[in-house]
C-alpha cells in the first residue's frame, strides 16, 4: 500500500498535477487499496478539514496580506534609499543594499518570492546600469530573498509549528541568529567580489542625508519592530501581531506613503487570498496522505534504520540534512515539509534533538533549496523579474549557496545558535 501511495504521488506529479492534488489523488488510491477492513470514504474530507482546523493558522493570511500591502505601498524604494545612505560608500554598494533591504523586508512579508520580486525589479536594472554582471546582480537578489522565510514572521515556521505542535514565537526567534549570520556572510561575499571586479562605489552620505533617509523609511522600519517586539515582550500573541501588522500596513500605505489607493485593495486582498489558499490546501491535502503514511508504520522503519547507523543527535541531524538537501533540489520547501516532517519529527524526538533547533534547521535547509541550482525557485523568479539569463545566475549564486550550507552546518553543530534566543522567552 505504501509503495502504491508514493508511486501514485510521483506519477501524478509527472503527469502535471499540482503537489496538493497529487497527495489527494494518491491518498484516495491508498484508501481504496488498503488491505483489511474497508475504510469509509468520509475519511478523506474529514482528515483534510482537520489538517487546517486550527486557530493558529489565522495568522497565515494576515501576515501574507500585510506583506502584500507593504510591498505594493512604497516600502521597497524607501528601504533601498535608506540602505544606500548607510552603505553607499562601500565598493559594490548596490549588492550590500540588496542584502540590507531584504533583511529588513523579511520582517514584513516573510516570503522569499515576494521579496525577490519587490527588490529585484528596481535593483537588478540599477546594478546592470552601473556595470555589475547580470549573473551577480541576480545572485545577490536571490541570496537576500533567502532571508525572508528564516526571519519572523516566517510562514514556513508557522507551518512547522502546526505540524509539530511547537511554539510559533520560539520558532520565530530561532531563525534570528542564523539569518544574521547569513546576511553578514553574504555582505562579505559582496565585498570580495566587488573588490576583485572593481565594481563602483558612491560618495559617502553625510549625517543629514542619513537622517533624512531614515526619517523617510521610519514607518517601514517600525513594522518589524512592532511585530517582533510585540511578540517578544508578551504584549501581543502571534495572531494579534499579524492583525496589528495588517492594520499598520493599511494605515502607512494609504495615508503616509500613499503607494496604494482604496481601489487597489480588492486586488491585493485577492492576491493574498490566493497565496493563502495554496498553503492551506497543501496542509489540508497532507491530512489523508500523512495518515496513511502513519498507518503503514513507515515512521518506525525510518527511525530504526537511522538509529541502526547512529544514535548521536549530531550524526542523525547531519543524515537528515543530507536527505533534505537532496529533497530540496527537486521539491519546493512547503510541500517537502508537509510530506516528510511527519516522518522526521518523531526521529528527532527519539534521539533527543531539541524540537526548536530541529525546526530552525529544517526550515533553513529547505529554504536553501530555493537557491540551489538547477531548479531553485528563486533562480527562476529573479531571472524572470530582471530579464536576465538563468545560466549566469546559477553560476554566480554558488558562493552564496556555499555560505548558506556553512551556516546550516553551524546550526547543527552549535545548538545555542538556534535555541538560546527562544530560551529567553518564558
What does the pLDDT profile of the chain (426 residues) look like in tens digits? 556 666 777 777 777 777 777 777 777 777 777 655 556 666 777 777 776 777 767 777 888 888 778 777 777 778 888 888 888 788 888 888 889 888 887 766 667 777 787 788 888 888 888 888 889 999 999 999 888 888 887 888 888 888 888 888 889 889 999 999 999 999 999 999 998 888 887 777 788 888 888 888 888 888 778 777 777 777 877 778 888 888 988 898 888 888 888 888 898 889 888 878 877 787 787 777 766 766 666 656 667 777 778 778 888 888 888 888 877 766 677 777 877 787 788 888 888 889 999 999 999 998 888 888 777 778 888 888 888 888 889 899 999 999 999 999 999 999 999 999 888 776
Helix, strand, coil percent content, the chain, rounded in steps of 5: 80, 0, 20
Nearest to 401 by CA among 68, 171, 143: 143
Tell how many helices (H) and how many strands (E) occur in the chain.
Answer: 22, 0
The CB density around residue 378, as the number of other CB atoms within 10 Å, is 28
Spatial contact of 287 and 48, defined as CB atoms under 8 Å apart = yes
Q: Hey, which bits of 18-173 come out as E strands?
A: none
Cis ω before 153 (30° cut-off from 0): yes
Helices (H), 175-206: 176-197
Q: Tell me, what DSSP letter sits at residue 154?
A: P
Q: Which residues contact 221 (CB under 8 A, 6 or more apart)?
A: 79, 82, 104, 214
Q: What angle do CA 181, 378, 329 make, to 5 degrees?
A: 85
Residues belonging to the chain = 426
174-to-14, 158, 202 alpha-carbon distances in Å: 36, 12, 36
- For residue 358, which phi and psi values (nearest 5 degrees)? -60, -45
- Positive/negative CA dihedral, 307, 313, 317, 318: negative
Neighbours of 247 (CB within 10 A): 11
Predicted local distance difference test score (pLDDT) of residue 408: 94
Instruction: Indicate yes or no: pTM above 0.75.
Output: yes
Nearest-angstrom CA–CA distance, 359 and 352: 13
Whose cell is 533591504? That residue is: 101
Task: Note if the bond before 374 is cis, omega within 30 degrees.
Answer: yes
Q: Tell me what pLDDT residue 11 has.
A: 79
Calculate helix-pair angle for 298-309, 313-328, nearest 10 degrees: 120
Contact 296, 35 (CB under 8 A): no
* CA–CA gap between residue 17 and residue 11 (Å, rounded): 9
List b or e across 64-78, with b for residues whose CB sees 16 or more CB atoms inside 10 angstroms: bbbbbbbbbbbbbbb
Handedness of CA 82, 140, 366, 382 (dihedral sign): positive
Amino acid at each position: 500500500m505504501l509503495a502504491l501511495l508514493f508511486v501514485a504521488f510521483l506519477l501524478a506529479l509527472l503527469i502535471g498535477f499540482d503537489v496538493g492534488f497529487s497527495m489527494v489523488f494518491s491518498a484516495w488510491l491508498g484508501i481504496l487499496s488498503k488491505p483489511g477492513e474497508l475504510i469509509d470514504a468520509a475519511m478523506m474530507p474529514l482528515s483534510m478539514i482537520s489538517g487546517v482546523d486550527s486557530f493558529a493558522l489565522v495568522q497565515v493570511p494576515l501576515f501574507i496580506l500585510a506583506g502584500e500591502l507593504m510591498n505594493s505601498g512604497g516600502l521597497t524604494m524607501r528601504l533601498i534609499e535608506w540602505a544606500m545612505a548607510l552603505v553607499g560608500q562601500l565598493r559594490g554598494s548596490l549588492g550590500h543594499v540588496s542584502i540590507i533591504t531584504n533583511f529588513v523586508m523579511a520582517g514584513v512579508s516573510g516570503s522569499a518570492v515576494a521579496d525577490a520580486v519587490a527588490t529585484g525589479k528596481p535593483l537588478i536594472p540599477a546594478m546592470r546600469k552601473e556595470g555589475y554582471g547580470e549573473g551577480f546582480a541576480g545572485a545577490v537578489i536571490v541570496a537576500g530573498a533567502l532571508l525572508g522565510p528564516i526571519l519572523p514572521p516566517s510562514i514556513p515556521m508557522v507551518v512547522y509549528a502546526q505540524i509539530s505542535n511547537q511554539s510559533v514565537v520560539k520558532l520565530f526567534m530561532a531563525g534570528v541568529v542564523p539569518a544574521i549570520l547569513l546576511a553578514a556572510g553574504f555582505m562579505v561575499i559582496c565585498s570580495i567580489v566587488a573588490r576583485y571586479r572593481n565594481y563602483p562605489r558612491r560618495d559617502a552620505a553625510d549625517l543629514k542625508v542619513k537622517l533624512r533617509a531614515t526619517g523617510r523609511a521610519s514607518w517601514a522600519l517600525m513594522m518589524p519592530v512592532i511585530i517582533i517586539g510585540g511578540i517578544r515582550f508578551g504584549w501581543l500573541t502571534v495572531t494579534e501581531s499579524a492583525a496589528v501588522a495588517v492594520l499598520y500596513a493599511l494605515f502607512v500605505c494609504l495615508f503616509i506613503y500613499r503607494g496604494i489607493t482604496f481601489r487597489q485593495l480588492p486586488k491585493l486582498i485577492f492576491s493574498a487570498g490566493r497565496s493563502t489558499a495554496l498553503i492551506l490546501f497543501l496542509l489540508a491535502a497532507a491530512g489523508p496522505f500523512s495518515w496513511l503514511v502513519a498507518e503503514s508504520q513507515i515512521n518506525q522503519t525510518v527511525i530504526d534504520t537511522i538509529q541502526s547507523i547512529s544514535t548521536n543527535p549530531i550524526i542523525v541531524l547531519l543524515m537528515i540534512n543530507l536527505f533534505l538537501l537532496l529533497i530540496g533540489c527537486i521539491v519546493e520547501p512547503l510541500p517537502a515539509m508537509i510530506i516528510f516532517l511527519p516522518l522526521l519529527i518523531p526521529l528527532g524526538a527519539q534521539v533527543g534533538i531539541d524540537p526548536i533547533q530541529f525546526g530552525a534547521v529544517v526550515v533553513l535547509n529547505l529554504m536553501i533549496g530555493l537557491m540551489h541550482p538547477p531548479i531553485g525557485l528563486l533562480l527562476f523568479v529573479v531571472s524572470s523579474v530582471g530579464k536576465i539569463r538563468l545560466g549566469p545566475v546559477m553560476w554566480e549564486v554558488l558562493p552564496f549557496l556555499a555560505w548558506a550550507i556553512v551556516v546550516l552546518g553551524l546550526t547543527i553543530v552549535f545548538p545555542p545558535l538556534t535555541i538560546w534566543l527562544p530560551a529567553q522567552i518564558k
